[in-house]
Structure 1
Amino acid sequence: MKPNFSLRLRVFNLNCWGIPYLSKHRADRVKRLGDFLNMESFDLALLEEVWSEQDFQDLRQKLLPTYPAAHYFRSGIIGSGLCVFSKHPIQEFTQHVFTLNGYPYMIHHGDWFCGKAVGLLVLHLSGLVLNAYVTHLHAEYNRQKDVYLAHRVAQAWELAQFIHHTSKKADMVLMCGDLNLHPKDLGCRLLKEWTGLCDAYLETRDFKGSEEGCTMVPENCYVNRRELEQFPLGIRIDYVLYKAVSGLYISCKTFKTTTGRDPHSGTPLSDHEALMATLCVRHSPPQHTSNPSHGPAERSALISVLREAWTELDQGMAQALWWATIAGYVIGLGLLLLALLCALAVGGGIREVAILLWTPSVGLVLGAGAVYLFHVQEAKGLCRARAELQHVLGRAREAQDLSPESQPALQPGRQEGDRAEEQ
């Protein structure tokens, strides 16, 4: 690599709010999004909530001259809603569907039917390997009483692990998406601490957009302002995160958000604000350290967030087992009721009543059985994530007493970069 090597990467990210029959002005917004992407000509455009595959096909047809490469990530019943458009050829792609994603009986929320996932694209840019990730985590419907918190923390951990295990051969890592997490939320801190990803909004010196980088703002006509009563400026839940894995240095030259309206027509492209980042990649000289040193404060912060995540998953697992136990009792009572009805039907005393009660009793047993199986599966998923966190937490605690030469083993997300600096 030449000492004066440099690469500029322009990235676009947007949660498109493209729910068929429910999202307002969907077709018009998709059309204007295509016009905007063609005009701006980003290197990568990563989108969430493109729930209609026909919308993706329409965008693909419109963007083909500017973005010859594209992919739509399919999962679940409705789909993941994730897609990407690229000016550069896509070398590889894959996806990981999150183990836990809400509850099927919460039909009015619908996350369980979507198959929330993380998609991965591998691109080759000027001889470098870029791993680009796009994701969408479970929504937060009630911040005061968040029944999905354990699921979202588990998803953040799965996302961090997926990035770690798939980025070992990459030179650069880019992660965009709607995390449904505020910057100081547990899941967001866990993701950043474990992977070492940098936040483009926090790192850039040239920011233009909504106050505090918020991506859902009350000025947007599609946003329910009552949901933002506690946050007068809005909330920041969409992110552009990045890092250099090998001997490179990445900086965010510019970072922009829309501010509740389309940059040209004045009408919003979505209920979320779009993110636009310009990343500069260059050779990292020997005297430059691309990753911060992991002193006592950094190690303490990692251990603290790992312990906090473990506690949250442990509580979630206890709750799942409680529901499974309740469902088990209902199954037992239902079977006893069925046995009693069978005895009454055979005896002939109140045969007609027994027959009438047979169908709802069978429905009760089957429904309770479905709830039991789901919550057992939920408990196992939480238990698996908790076991992984416990193992990592144990290693982190052991590393506290090791010499500085052993400290990079704490964070696998930054391990490769540190090793490259030493060579």
Structure 2
Amino acid sequence: MADSPDRLRVLTLNCWGLKFLSDDHGPRLTHIGSLIANSPDPPQIVCLQECWTAADYDSIRTQTLSILPHGKFYHSGIFGGGLAILSKWPIEESSMVRYPLNGRPTAFFRGDWFVGKGVAHARILLPKGDTMDREFIEVFCTHLHAPYEKEPHDSYICHRTAQAWEIAKLMKGALLRGSLVVAAGDFNMLPDSLAHKLISTHGHAQDVWKVLHPDSSVGAWEDEVERRRGKPCPTAEYNIKHNGITCDSVLNTWRWGKQVRKRLRKEDIKGDMHAEDPRGKRLDYIFYSHMDRGEGSWAVEDAEVGMLGRHPELRCSLSDHFSVEATFTRTTAQNGQAQPHTPNSASNPVPRLPDPTHSSHLTFLPLTTYTEILHMISLYTAREHSQRRLRLSHLCLQLCISIGCLIAIWWSPHAYVSFILMLVSTFGLAAGVVDGLIGGLFVGSEERALREFEWEIGNARAWAGACGGERGGERGRRVVDDEVHVRHGA
């Protein structure tokens, strides 16, 4: 076999390829595949989100087979998860892990629950001279629950935070297996949000953009969290090059008005790189981690926002997101220090991650952060308790109304009155049964998932409190057993 590669290039993109809903998704995704295949510095791993149809995936696969001969289209939910992973090297095994908390079926107009969002996982075998000592990259591709309101007032923030916790656990498990871990996708979160902190800390992972640009924005300029930093409104160019903006950029044609977009069919309207960009934010990320056992490790060399171009005929942006692309280089141990193979990575070294198998290297968030998450879970649990009671009450009410309508038919003076009563009884009872099933089955399932999430966060909080000073394992276990968690509905 060939020697293991010393350079790795990763690309992630939300393709916005919803069937029937995304404009021109076929030609756009076809051109995305062409750009990947003809890139002067082609990626070896590609993570795609919102690639909903097999036809669009096949189009990209066909064009990229020469550089990415291995790939997997992941199936999930009622309409599919929209996730895909392409690789230069063989995928030894893969899995699709659905999130326990993933939206609500009543929000059918949003669709998060129906697509079964989760984590697409691929264990990729790297080529290596010694086949007895195999090396793997474990890739996680995901698309977290969409934010429909701004944090912290987003009604789905509990779901997205729980999803971040789930992928963090998967990433940590891969790290403990000794793999190079790469997690990429549309995380629908802002830098330094609760979800971001959970992935960074409990996933033992690093956000490549934050490593290279530690002073980059923590939200859109118009968001309160970013305004508190006192920075001037950035230009589109600054947002792209320094803040890593991938969504809601003034350069993206899908954020323009409908009349302007219609003109694109006839004329090529250029975006202004120097225009102010108050709404642009970073929602797409590449995280990575690798356990350094003294035999060398990986460092991030470069990261950039890509796919900024337009479709040649349609003149529209290729997606409503831009891509994130990162390059990693392998380092070798020389004289007790990690030396990068390339000069560029020397100027941007990544701090080596500690070995998480040692209790002395356990990392935790501040106790107040865990308390904040527990409070959030408690509030959301109380909301779901209320929703369950209302839905079950609606079922009981509709049963009474239906029985009343059937009785009233006996004394109905006219046939049309009987017809109206039957109509009210039938449709009302149907609505009540659906509401009752949602309240009795779905909300019950959601509450159980919330209890699991609450216990795990409480457990992490107990370990953080016990190990913060002494980092003692036995003491941590005793505190976990005695930990008093936030009561449901409190």
TM-score range, shorter chain: 0.7 to 0.9
Q: Deviations over 1:71-99 (max 9, x none)?
A: 00110111111101111111111120111
1:281 CA drift (Å):
2.2
Of 134, 141, 147 in structure 1, the residue corresponding to residue 141 of structure 2 is 134
1:250 aligns with 2:298: yes
Corresponding residue number in structure 2 for 1:399: 467
**Residue identity opposite 1:333 in structure 2:** L
Q: How does 1:31-50 map to 2 (within 5 A)?
A: 31-40=30-39, 41-50=42-51
Q: Using the TM superposition, give the Cα deviation of residue 250 of structure 1 relative to its aligned residue in structure 2, in angstroms.
A: 2.2
Aligned to 1:363: 430
1:142, distance to aligned residue in structure 2 (A)? 1.7
CA distance in 2 between counterparts of 1:21 and 1:74 reads 19
Which SS does the other structure have where 2:85 is aligned? Answer: strand
The structure carrying a bigger helix percent of its residues is 1
Amino acid at match of 2:252: N
**Residue 381 of structure 1 corresponds to which residue in structure 2?**
449
Q: Which residue of 2 aligns with 1:269?
A: 318
| Deviation of the 1:244 alpha carbon | 0.7
Query: For the Cα contact (< 8 Å) 1:189–1:305, is it kept in 2?
Result: no
Looking at both structures, which has the greater relative contact order when contacts are Cα pairs under 8 Å and sequence separation is at least 6? 1
Shift in CA distance, 25/154, structure 1 to aligned 2, threshold 3 Å: same
Alpha-carbon distance change, 263 to 345 in structure 1, aligned in 2, over 3 angstroms: closer
Match of 1:421 in 2: none
RMSD over aligned Cα atoms: 3.4
Given candidates 291, 294, 303, the residue that maps to 2:353 is: 291
TM-score scaled by structure 1?
A: 0.84
Counterpart of 2:329 in structure 1 is 280
Aligned counterparts of 1:215 and 1:95: Cα–Cα separation in 2: 25
| Residue pairs, 1:1-16, within 5 angstroms | 7-16=6-15
Contact 2:291 2:354 in 1 (8 A): no
Report the alpha carbon displacement of residue 406 of structure 1 after superposing the two structures with TM. 9.0
Change (3 A) 1:335 1:179: same
**Does the CA contact (< 8 Å) of 1:10 and 1:276 recur in 2?**
yes
Q: Which residue pairs with 1:419 in the alignment?
A: none
Distance 1:171 1:406 in 2: 28
- Specify the code of the residue in structure 1 equivalent to 2:438: V
**1-structure distance, mates of 2:333, 2:316:** 42
Is the CA contact 2:292–2:355 (under 8 Å) kept in the aligned structure 1? no
Q: Is the Cα–Cα contact under 8 Å of residues 210 and 259 in structure 1 kept in the other structure?
A: no
- Percent identity between the aligned chains? 24
Residue 205 of structure 1: how far off its partner (Å): 7.3
Deviations 1:147-175 (A, max 9, x none): 21111111111111222234431331111
Q: Take 2:24 and 2:148, find their aligned partners in 1: how far apart are those partners?
A: 23
Q: Do structure 1's residue 193 and structure 2's residue 201 form an aligned pair?
A: yes
Instruction: Write the distance in 2 (CA, Å) between the matches of 1:332 and 1:404.
Output: 54
Aligned-partner Cα distance in 2 for 1:310–1:279:
36
Deviations 1:143-202 (A, max 9, x none): 164121111111111111222234431331111000000102111111111112111112
Structure 1, gaps ≥5 residues long: 410-423
Q: CA deviation at 1:6?
A: 7.4
Matched residue count: 402
- Structure 1 residue 339, shift from structure 2 partner: 3.8
Report the 3-state secondary structure (helix = DSSP H, G, I; strand = E; otherwise coil) of the residue aligned with 2:100.
coil
User: How far 1:382 sits from its partner (Å)?
Assistant: 1.4
User: Residue 359 and residue 253 in structure 1: after superposition, are their counterparts in 2 closer, same or farther (change >3 A)?
Assistant: same
- Separation of aligned partners in 2, 1:123 and 1:407: 38
Shift in alpha-carbon separation, 1:172–1:263, aligned structure 2, 3 A:
farther
Distance 1:364 1:408 in 2: 50
Distance 2:114 2:34 in 1: 31
CA positional deviation for 1:55: 0.5
Provide the C-alpha distance between the structure 2 equivalents of 1:360 and 1:213, rounded to a whole number of angstroms. 51
Counterpart of 1:158 in structure 2: which amino acid? Answer: E
CA separation of 1:398/1:59 partners in 2, compared to 1, >3 Å: closer, same or farther?
A: same
SS of the equivalent of 1:70 reads strand
Contact map agreement 1:221 1:260 (CA 8 A) in 2: no
Q: Could you report, residue by residue, the CA deviation over 1:329-351 in whole angstroms, capped at 9, with x for unpaired residues?
A: 22222233334345445678899
CA deviation vs aligned residue, 1:266-288 (integer Å, no higher than 9, x gap): 75321111111110122456566
- 2:113 counterpart residue number: 112
1:23-48 deviations in Å (ceiling 9; x for gaps): 23322222221121112221111111
CA contact (8 A) 1:204 1:251 kept: no
Contact 1:16 1:272 in 2 (8 A): yes
**Post-superposition shift, 1:261?**
2.8
Q: Is 1:95 the counterpart of 2:102 in the alignment?
A: no
Pairing 1:201-350 to 2, within 5 Å after superposition: 201-204=209-212, 209-216=240-247, 217-223=249-255, 232=278, 234-247=280-293, 248-258=296-306, 260-262=308-310, 268-284=317-333, 286=336, 290-291=352-353, 301-345=365-409
Structure 2: gaps (5+ residues): 129-133, 217-237, 259-275, 339-350, 478-490
2:50 alignment partner AA: E
Q: Distance in 2 between matches of 1:365 and 1:254?
A: 56
For residues 32 and 355 of structure 1, do their structure 2 counterparts lie closer, same or farther at Cα, with a shift above 3 Å needed? closer
1:183 matches 2:188: no
CA deviation string 1:353-406 (max 9, x = no partner):
654442133223212213313222222221211111112211221112425899
SS in 2 for 1:261: coil
Check 1:32–1:408 CA distance in 2 against 1; reply closer, same or farther (3 A cut). farther
> Could you tell me how far 1:20 is from its partner in structure 2?
2.0
Distance 1:197 1:225 in 2: 39
Residues 224 and 100 of structure 1: CA distance in aligned 2, closer, same or farther (over 3 Å)? farther
Q: CA deviation at 1:259?
A: 7.3
Q: 1:6 to 1:358 in 2, by over 3 A?
A: closer
